[in-house]
Amino acid sequence: MWSLGCMLAELLTGYPLFPGEDEYDQLACIIELLGKPPNSLIQNSKRATYFFTPAGNPRYCSITVLEDGTNIVGGGMSRRGKTRGPPGSKTLVRALKGCQDEVFHDFLRKCLEWDPDKRMTPEVAMRHPWLKRRLPPAPVTSISSGSAPTGNYKDNKIISITSTNEKDSNQTKSAVKTSEEYFKRNSLRF
């Protein structure tokens, strides 16, 4: 589901959601958008010390200690000098280049949940309002009688349909036309 969320964001914007230069910077990009991972995930990570300080702060961040002892977590820089903000400082609207679709944001947030046990499953995703409003119409499921229509395909498009029953053939042609129109209207529109 994590990969699906990343791919959908990239399809929308044309850019990777987390454009890290290496694994260290990749994690910085993720933390900048999603905030710090839960402490339980950090504690169970075999390589946590590479990415996090003993206090649990991301190593890419700068830490400023105020006179009263308060720690202020700031951003940092990638190895190539790209600015990375502090944990949770980047909004989805900014990451998605201005996309204001709150239902899509909710879908992505659920795909990009840090804890895999809390992350949305494919079964739950199929019932999510964002995906449900974009599913194509159900295929024609009943053929009146006779043999099922067959089609000739070229480049994944039906170029002709044959059937022993004219009613079945017309029904199938209508369903194909409806599906093609649907995908033309709705492809890659978020």
- pLDDT for res 159: 47
The mean predicted confidence, pLDDT, of the chain is: 82
Q: Where are the domains of the chain?
A: 2-132, 138-190
The pTM of this model reads: 0.70
Residue 103: partners with Cβ closer than 8 Å, 6 or more residues away: 129, 130, 133
| Angle in degrees, CA 79, 115, 117, rounded to 5 | 150
CA 176 to chain centre: 28
pLDDT in tens, 124-138: 999 999 988 866 665
Stretch among 47-51, 101-105, 131-135, 153-157 having the lowest mean pLDDT:
153-157
- pLDDT tens-digit series, residues 37-71: 999 999 999 999 999 999 899 999 999 999 999 98
* C-alpha pair distances (Å), 15 with each of 11, 109, 111, 124, 159: 8, 18, 18, 27, 35
In CATH terms, the superfamily for domain 2-132 is Transferase(Phosphotransferase) domain 1 (1.10.510.10)
Q: Please name which of 9, 18, 12 lies closest in space to residue 188, comparing C-alpha atoms.
A: 12
